């Protein structure tokens, strides 16, 4: 997968569950739940020791699931994620070392930004998709609208504080490819093994996204 293919997938999916796995044993039922709910994507964050093996398990057991690695802070984690089978990399900030390493490996990378300097750093490296993070804490839709205005070639993936209550508002912006959602498979739901609730959350996200179809991707 290259960056343009990732952007196409995100414009179609519109929502990316951002998942912190407490235990690798939860990976398989999580993948099955997301697929059955019609949301075949997950970003597995490197915030626990289960991340690498969780990505590997998802890729092995659920080949139709688009699996990315999140909270990637250094090159070593990029390599661990790719070795596990991650199809794209997401970072909370713009770390040139991480971004350049991914570009050298021809791996789609979505760096986090919340200001024009970060956007221009991405553009200088040929990136057209960035993660707007932390979205709500940084200024929410007001800041997103202001930042997007001069950068019509840039697509955003708002993450951080996005909920079912504001998801539709974010997805209504033409500059938004997709939103990252931690509420879909939250840590407490995973710890309790409440995959029925996760399925309900994923279905609700799909319903909201269906009402806010994405803009066509640039050719």
CB burial readout 203-212, b (16+ within 10 A) else e:
ebbeebbeeb
- In this structure, the dihedral spanned by the alpha carbons of residues 76, 176, 8 and 57, taken in order and rounded to 10 degrees, is 40
Q: Please list the active-site residues.
A: 43, 131
CB atoms within 10 A of CB 29: 14
Do the Cβ atoms of 40 and 64 come closer than 8 Å? yes
Q: Which helix (H) or strand (E) holds 16?
A: strand 15-19
With 0-12 CB in 10 A as exposed, 13-18 as middle and 19+ as buried, what is 52? buried
Q: N- to C-terminal Cα distance for the chain?
A: 16
């Amino acid at each position: 997968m290259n960056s343009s293919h990732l952007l196409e997938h995100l414009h179609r999916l519109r929502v990316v569950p951002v998942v912190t796995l407490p235990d690798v044993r939860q990976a398989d039922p999580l993948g099955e739940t997301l697929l059955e709910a019609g949301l075949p994507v997950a970003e597995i964050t490197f915030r626990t020791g289960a991340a690498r093996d969780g990505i590997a398990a998802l890729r092995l057991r659920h080949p139709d699931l688009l699996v990315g690695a999140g909270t990637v802070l250094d090159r070593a984690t990029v390599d661990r994620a790719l070795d596990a089978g991650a199809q794209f990399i997401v970072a909370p900030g713009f770390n040139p070392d991480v971004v350049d390493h991914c570009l050298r490996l021809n791996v789609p990378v979505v760096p986090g930004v919340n200001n024009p300097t970060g956007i221009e750093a991405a553009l200088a490296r040929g990136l057209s998709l960035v993660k707007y993070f932390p979205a709500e804490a940084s200024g929410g839709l007001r800041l997103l609208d202001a930042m997007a205005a001069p950068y019509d070639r840039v697509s955003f993936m708002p993450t951080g504080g996005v909920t079912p209550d504001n998801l539709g508002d974010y997805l209504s912006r033409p500059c938004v490819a997709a939103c990252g959602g931690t509420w879909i498979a939250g840590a407490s739901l995973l710890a309790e093994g409440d995959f029925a609730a996760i399925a309900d959350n994923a279905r609700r996200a799909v319903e909201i996204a269906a009402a806010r179809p994405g803009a066509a991707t640039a050719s």
